[in-house]
Amino acid sequence: MASYEIEEWVKPVNTFVLLGRPGSGKSRTGNTITGCDKAFEFGFHAKRTPTKCESKQTEIFEAEVCVIDTPGVSLFEKQDFEDIQSALPEEGPSKIIFLLCVTIGRLTHDELSLINQYFVIFGDDFANNTIIIFTHLDEWESDMKDCNVENPKFDSYLHTLPEQTKTIFRRFHNRYLPVNNKQKKSEKMQWTLKLMTIANSMQGFNMFSNFPTVSYSSYLRDIALSYSTYLREMAFRCLRNIQGKVFGND
Ligand SMILES: Nc1nc2c(ncn2[C@@H]2O[C@H](COP(=O)(O)OP(=O)(O)OP(=O)(O)O)[C@@H](O)[C@H]2O)c(=O)[nH]1
Ligand SMILES: [Mg+2]
């Protein structure tokens, strides 16, 4: 399958842009796609936290593909948007598809807020051009086995998500793919084939337009509002805790 960094620059069929919070498994997913563990530096013990996008071009099942790994951020800003733009293939990508990496089982408020920020930046089309990649499938399966669940089905995990999270995922037309980035090379190839099949059925972005400066103030307002809701909830929770302690009903 993959021989990345080929000398001849060929216009890729698909450009995958990996998005997600820090540590969500973007770089390792990029390695699974390229079929090379060294394509993108990954892991907590990495010498440096990447601050710039990195791109690799590779051939997957005879199709040229560009993979762009992005630094993990909690707040997606103008600079992050411009970095992705400058990492796009010079020839112009045929189709840009976002791979939104989410660690199974750890959907925090910050993560949901980051997803909302992507919508503000890329517009409603973000959902039409994104595949949610649930990483750490191996750990989830192992936990299920420890709970005596034989042949666990990933769909059952999705059913356990809170309603608010389900609503967000529904916006992506339930287009998702769980991945075990530690599986054998041959299984990674099978997984990549599945990814390509889904990507081929999608329209994808062409080139994105400029960062929506006009709506930048509303973007900041949305972030402020989402955080204020969070802070309000935290305050109520603290208040309930204190009341519980004072009245001895915790
Ligand atoms: N068990 C398991 N570990 C994974 C999987 N995917 C990623 N990891 C681990 O999760 C950690 C973070 O993975 P990275 O790929 O570096 O995450 P990232 O999103 O690129 O992180 P940043 O670049 O810091 O934003 C590493 O220790 C990976 O080995 C997976 O499917 N299964
Ligand atoms: Mg990374």
54 Cβ inside 6 Å of ligand 1: no
- The pLDDT score that the predictor gives to residue 245 is 65
| Domain ranges, ordered by start, for the chain | 14-211, 214-250
- The pLDDT score that the predictor gives to residue 93 is 65
Q: Is the pLDDT of residue 215 over 80?
A: no
- CA distances (Å), origin 140, targets 37, 96, 115: 22, 29, 22
Please tell me the total number of residues recorded for the chain in this structure: 250
26 Cβ inside 6 Å of ligand 1: yes
Looking at domain 14-211, its CATH architecture is 3-Layer(aba) Sandwich (3.40)
Q: How far is the CA of 51 from the centre of ligand 2 (A)?
A: 9
Rounded CA Rg of the chain: 20
Closest CA to 112 of 29, 20, 220: 20
Q: What is the pLDDT of residues 103-154, one digit of tens each?
A: 998 688 888 889 988 988 888 889 999 999 999 999 999 999 999 988 889 9
Atom of ligand 1 nearest to the CA of 69: 20
What pTM was estimated for this model as a whole?
0.84
Q: Are 133 and 99 in contact (CB under 8 A)?
A: yes
247 Cβ inside 6 Å of ligand 1: no
Measured CA angle at 22 (ends 43, 53), to 5 deg: 85
Q: How far is the CA of 136 from the centre of ligand 1 (A)?
A: 8
Cβ-proximal residues to 60 (8 Å cutoff; 6+ apart), any chain? 1, 2, 33, 35, 192, 196
Distance CA(95)–CA(202), nearest Å, equals: 9
Instruction: State which of 135, 179, 188 you would mutate to test the pocket of ligand 1, scoring each by most atoms of that ligand within 8 A of its C-beta.
Output: 135
Question: Residue with the nearest Cα to atom 9 of ligand 1?
Answer: 25
The average pLDDT across 147-172 equals 89
Q: Is the pLDDT of residue 1 over 60?
A: no
Q: Is the pLDDT of residue 181 over 80?
A: yes
Distance CA(218)–CA(210), nearest Å, equals: 16
- CA distances (Å), origin 41, targets 53, 82, 112: 12, 22, 25
- The pLDDT score that the predictor gives to residue 107 is 81
User: 10-19, 40-49, 192-201: which range is least confident on average?
Assistant: 40-49
Cβ-proximal residues to 93 (8 Å cutoff; 6+ apart), any chain? 11, 12, 14, 15, 66, 206, 207
99 bridge partner residues: 18, 131
139 Cβ inside 6 Å of ligand 1: yes
